[in-house]
Amino acid sequence: MKLRYALLLSVLSSAGIGAAVHSLHAQAKPPVYMIAINEVSNLEGYSKEYVPAAQKAVKDHGGVYVSAGPGKQIAGSLPSGPVVILRWESLDALMKWRDSPEFQAALKVGEKYAKYNIIAVDGVAQ
């Protein structure tokens, strides 16, 4: 008889833990992705003066590089240039980085060498 109660208690507690984990997982907000296509006019200046400072600012503010490099246009008419995809915890986190003194200083340098086309898009729940 005690074995039955022990098994029943085990099953119920497992179900409760599973439901709690599922609930917490379902509440997690998907990340925000930033996509930039940078039209570079001076690759040497862009690479040496802008990129290192911009990368440091991204990492210092919690951004994660998902992809960076030359893109392959499949359709439409997009600007030509390096493509960068960053992942952020939220749009608020992205904007705090964007408005940070560190990134603004890097951007001021970068604007001598490139034109920036940037969008943010919400990730999807998995």
Instruction: Name the pTM for this structure.
Output: 0.75
Q: CB within 8 A of 79, min separation 6: which ones?
A: 37, 39, 115, 117
Distance, in Å, from the CA atom of 124 to the CA atom of 50, rounded to the nearest integer, reads 31
What are 47-85's pLDDT values in tens digits?
999 999 999 999 999 999 999 999 998 999 888 899 999
| Burial degree of 1 (CB within 10 A; 0-12, 13-18, 19+) | exposed
